[in-house]
């Protein structure tokens, strides 16, 4: 992974082993984990940095980290978080109110290990 520029949280933009550009090393690590799950058949696939329109009186777009599909065709969004900003908390409140789609927010707890910190609308979905 090749470090690029820095942001206000000292996250470095990197290019992952899969050739995708990620906003942080932790995000690239989660992308690598998704790649492993895809090769193992646990998920059907994923896309990086999907943009979701949230119509809240004004056109507001939220650029998430991943959209993932399991082998059964269910999909959900993933946001990898290190720091929960006020902007993120507002987006999460709107997401819950609008019931847009299933969303999980994950935080890294160890190398290649993540825990879910928020889960919205994921009941009945098989998330590996």
| Domain containing residue 86: CATH number | 3.40.1350
At residue 10 the predicted structure's pLDDT band, cuts being 50, 70 and 90, is low
7 in any annotated domain: yes
How confident is the model over 65-86, as pLDDT tens digits? 999 999 999 999 999 998 899 9
Which domain covers residue 110, as residue numbers? 2-120
pLDDT of residue 38 exceeding 60, the answer is yes
Pairwise CA distance, residues 33 & 128, whole Å = 11
| CB within 8 Å of 76: residues ≥ 6 apart | 67, 68, 101, 102, 103, 104, 122, 125, 127
pLDDT of residue 5 exceeding 90, the answer is no
37 in any annotated domain: yes
**Domain tally for the chain?**
1
pLDDT at 19: 85
At residue 7 the predicted structure's pLDDT band, cuts being 50, 70 and 90, is low
Average of pLDDT values for 87-114? 93
């Amino acid at each position: 992974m090749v470090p690029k520029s820095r942001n206000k949280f000292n996250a470095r933009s990197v290019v992952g082993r899969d050739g995708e550009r990620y906003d942080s090393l932790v995000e690239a690590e989660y992308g690598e984990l998704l790649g492993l799950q895809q090769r193992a058949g646990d998920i059907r696939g994923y896309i990086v940095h999907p943009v979701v329109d949230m119509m809240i009186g004004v056109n507001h777009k939220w650029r998430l980290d991943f959209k993932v599909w399991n082998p059964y065709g269910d999909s959900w969004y993933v946001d990898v978080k290190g720091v929960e900003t006020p902007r993120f908390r507002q987006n999460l409140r709107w997401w819950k109110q609008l019931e847009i789609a299933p969303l999980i927010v994950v935080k890294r707890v160890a190398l290649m290990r993540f825990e879910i910190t928020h889960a919205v609308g994921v009941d009945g979905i098989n998330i590996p």
